[in-house]
Amino acid sequence: MRTNPWRTGLAVAVVGAVLVVMPSVVQGGEARAPSAATTLVREQNLDANGLIRVHEQGTASVTVVGAVPAQQSGSWSVGLAPTANTVQLASSVASPVVIRNANDAAQPFQRQIAMPIPLGQQQASGSFTVPTGKRFVIEEVTGSFIWPDGGELKVPIRFSVQTTTGGNTAAHFLQVSWIYGSTSEYTAHLPAPARIYADPGTSVEAHVLLRTAPLNGTPEADLTVSGYLVDVP
């Protein structure tokens, strides 16, 4: 039989085209795609334990359990804001917190004011000025009065100390006691513990008043004030 070479070439071309378009492999009557090649990739972003590091996206919520050690870096400044913080001490009648005035004895201050009473007069006074930039806190006031020998005994006497604070002037009166009659001596003191204030640059005045003017001699009167000074801005 004679073979036509043109037909033979056409048949080979058709079969080749089918193999190019359909590269499937037929095994056991079932077509399967050829398996792809496997490529091994080594992860570089690992921690010390060989685990892959994960980067958080967005806002993370972290709960800390136990104590976290902290190390100071640079200078720390710790303080309380007076307008935002309140410190409360646990104090009660059964277990009180002991406190003391930090100004006590820091700047102790005292003055003695002499008040000689002229013959024929019933009163006398003396004063001193509180130092500039200081407030005088008076804690104790004492006075004494001695009538000359041969004078009248048990003469009614009034002692007072006068101070100014906050623009207001006030007199504080002392309790007077007669001691004995040989020289008609009197003492004076505040009737109870007190706190008297005198502002910077103001006068502290002492006054003594007799109900009877001396007819002879010169009575001796003086007043002593003691306490401490406080700095005033």
Measured distance CA(178)–CA(78) in Å, rounded: 60
- Could you tell me if residue 201 is inside a domain? yes
The answer to whether the CB of 182 falls within 8 A of the CB of 150 is no
The pLDDT, as a whole number, for residue 20 is 45
- Could you tell me if residue 163 is inside a domain? yes
The pLDDT, as a whole number, for residue 21 is 45
Count of structural domains, the chain: 1
- DSSP assignment of 77-125, as one string? -----TTT--------SSSPPP---TTTTTSEEEEEEE-PPPTT-SEEE
Q: Which amino acid is at 66?
A: G
Measured distance CA(104)–CA(107) in Å, rounded: 7
- DSSP assignment of 15-75, as one string? HHHHHHH---EEETTEEEPPPPPP-------B-TTSPBP----S-------S-------S-
Q: What is the CATH number of the domain that holds 138?
A: 2.60.120
Which range of residues forms the domain containing residue 225? 109-231
First to last CA, the chain: 135
- Could you tell me if residue 157 is inside a domain? yes
The answer to whether the CB of 111 falls within 8 A of the CB of 204 is yes
- Could you tell me if residue 6 is inside a domain? no
Measured distance CA(219)–CA(142) in Å, rounded: 17
The pLDDT, as a whole number, for residue 10 is 44
- Could you tell me if residue 14 is inside a domain? no
Task: Name residue 176's beta-bridge partners.
Answer: 188
Q: Model-level pTM?
A: 0.56
- Could you tell me if residue 210 is inside a domain? yes
Q: Which two tokens stand for residue 114?
A: 């002499």
Question: What backbone torsions phi and psi does residue 155 show, to the nearest 5 degrees?
Answer: -80, 130
- Could you tell me if residue 27 is inside a domain? no
Measured distance CA(177)–CA(118) in Å, rounded: 22
Per-residue pLDDT of the chain (233 residues; tens, 9 = 90+): 555 554 544 444 444 444 444 444 455 555 555 566 777 777 777 777 777 777 666 677 778 888 888 777 778 777 777 777 777 778 888 888 888 777 777 899 999 999 988 878 888 999 999 999 999 999 999 998 887 665 555 566 889 999 999 999 999 999 988 776 555 778 888 887 889 999 999 999 999 998 877 777 778 889 999 999 999 98
Measured distance CA(146)–CA(187) in Å, rounded: 9
- Could you tell me if residue 171 is inside a domain? yes
The pLDDT, as a whole number, for residue 16 is 46
